[in-house]
Each structure stands twice: as C-alpha cells, then as structure tokens.
Amino acid sequence: MGDTVAMSDQQGGRDIRMRIASFNLENLKSGDDLVSRCAILRPQLERLDADIVCLQEIDGERSPEGGRRLVALDDLIEGTPYAGFHRATSLRTNLTEPRDRHNLVVLSRWPIEASAQYSNDLIAAPVYSQATAMPADGEQPVQWDRPILHAVIKVEGGPRLHIVNVHLKAPLAAFVAGQKLGPFSWKSVSGWAEGFFLAAMKRSGQALEARVLIDRIFDDEPEALIALCGDFNAEERDTAFHIVTGKLENTGNGALAGRELIALENSLPKSRRFTLIYGGRRLMLDHILVTRRLLEHYRGIEVHNENLSDEVVAATTIAASPESYHAPVVATFAIRGA
C-alpha cells in the first residue's frame, strides 16, 4: 500500500494521506468456495489501498483453539497489509466473541483507542402488535437485527477520528408468525405487507440510533471528525438516509448545520453513482458520509463498480458466485498533521 504521509508544505507541516473504504463482502464464511472467493475479493481489497476499512457481512465460526473467530476474514486478508491492521468487530450479546452471522469489522492502520457497539442501546426497541400474525401474539418489541459499530482511531501525527460502521436492515419483509409458506413465499398480501413494514421500521430505527450516536459524539467533541460508512440498504431519497444525514433543509435550524452528514458520492457523475445492480436498476446503497469538519480534508471518492454483476441475473445463472454483488467505495483525505 502507498505511503501514509503524502506531502509537506512550505512551513514544514505535513499532510497525512488517508483512505477510508467500505465493502459489503456478502456472507463471507469458510467452506468449499472460500478459495475461489478469496481469489476474487482479495484483489478488490488490495486495490482499495485503504488505511481504514469498514466491512460488512462477515460470519463468525468456531475455531479449533476454541471460541468463535472470524476465520474466513483471516484467510481472506492473509498475505495482505490488512493482516497487520488493528481490528474492531461486532460481538455477540455476551460481548466476548463475534456473532454467528453478519459481523461488522473495522480494520485500521492506526491504533483503535476505543470501540463500542449499539443495538437498541440508545433507542429502545419500539413495541408493536402485529395485525396479521397467526396466532395473534400481542405487543412485542421490534429489535434491530444487527448492531452499529463505533471505533475511535488516533491517526499517528494527526487527529482523532470517529468511524461508525453500519449495515441497515434490507428491504425484505421481516418475519410475521403464521404468514410464511417458505423463505420468500407468503400466505397473504397483508402478511407480506406487514413484514415489509416491520423491515422498514427496523431500518429506520437503526438509522435513528446511528443519528443519536453521532449527536452524542458532537456533544462531547463539537469539532469531531466523523465518517459514517457501510451498507445502508437505502438511497439518498429514502427515509433512513434522511434520518441519519440530518440535512439542514430538514431541521430548519442553521445552528445545526455543523452536525449534518454529507454524502461523498455526490462528487461523482450520476452515471458512476451505484454500488449494486438489481434487475437492471443501478442503486447507490453503500455510502461514506462525513461531517463538515472532515469534508474540509476530502480529496476524492471512487466506486469500484466497473465489473459489477446484476444480482438478480447472477442468482439465476451462477451457482455459488464467488464475488460480492456490492461494489466497494473508498474516499481519500489529506489531513494536516502535527
């Protein structure tokens, strides 16, 4: 990977070159196809040439040494610079080992000072009574499926950086008791519709918890440098995106402008703004959002979507595809060091 320190100015200071990336690896786990997956995914990771990487959908597995580890991730990054990076990962409820499925991971060239995860910790699970459940089960909490991962990184010779890694709920109908015929088959339209509503509630709730976390960071550190990265399962026009960005035109309060998050992909022409192709539709679902203070140091963004397959087409024509149907995103910054 390239040198972190990029250039010096006339006063003898230096600009620290920093690349922050996000990549949904899609169900990365050990198995017969891991070798072929590594052959495709490893060059994509190395091309990112990143100093900080937010990864999504990494499974945890039992290891011969005991406990649960990210075995497939270790195999994927073996022999790359990322193998020596510092790491923060989402954990099971016991907070001692990774979750079974869909872990979030932050890899950092620089030390991670602190990390924490949030799942209905800042936002209580809303209570809801399902209308179509059979039998009716009364009021039940609607809990998020995945946590939010927050890592605090001290850039060597530079500032503290807050990285928030998210994977919001996909727009696929959530479970409703007694309404499923199969994994993607429903007994009634109303049952599917309620499941779809529940998924939207979970996605928006995760976005709200991320927004509350960001505001708490600002409360403690008004000039915070924050990057919110990950698979949002939402485009710029969607509710979850509006919740988390806190745009000035939505709050209507100029005093809150510094707390707005800016979507870096807006630097790209519209023809390049997509990280997933679904049935011919090009969607920008993976984002890097930054605060205005971090935007000050922003230099450019790349979406590596040149060879992206259509998820719908590939699912019907390719058995055990080794690739991810999400394109990685990477943004470059130049931060003035000490």
Q: Tell me the β-bridge partners of 261.
A: 291
**What is the reported pLDDT for 13?**
58
Given a cut of 70, whether residue 338 has pLDDT beyond it is no
Query: Angle at CA 229, nearest 5°, toward 227 and 231?
Result: 165
Given a cut of 70, whether residue 65 has pLDDT beyond it is yes
Residue type, 110: W
pLDDT band at 137 (very low <50, low <70, confident <90, very high): confident
Q: How far is CA 52 from CA 24, 154, 301, in A?
A: 14, 12, 14
**What is the reported pLDDT for 200?**
97
**What is the reported pLDDT for 92?**
87
Average pLDDT, the chain: 92
**What is the reported pLDDT for 75?**
95
Q: How far apart are CA 255 and CA 259, in angstroms?
A: 9
pLDDT band at 155 (very low <50, low <70, confident <90, very high): very high
- Let me know: does 153 contact 87? Beta carbons within 8 Å: no
Q: Which residue has the tokens 């339209």?
A: 189
pLDDT band at 5 (very low <50, low <70, confident <90, very high): very low
> pLDDT tens digits, residue range 241-263?
999 999 999 999 999 999 999 99
- Let me know: does 313 contact 283? Beta carbons within 8 Å: no
CATH 3.60.10.10 fits domain 5-336: yes
Task: Determine the 3-state secondary structure of 277 from DSSP.
Answer: strand
**Main-chain dihedrals φ then ψ at residue 22, nearest 5 degrees:** -140, 140
- Domain regions of the chain by residue span: 5-336
Strands 226-231 and 160-167: parallel
**What is the reported pLDDT for 4?**
47
**What is the reported pLDDT for 15?**
87
Q: What is the mean pLDDT of residues 64-84?
A: 91
**What is the reported pLDDT for 12?**
43
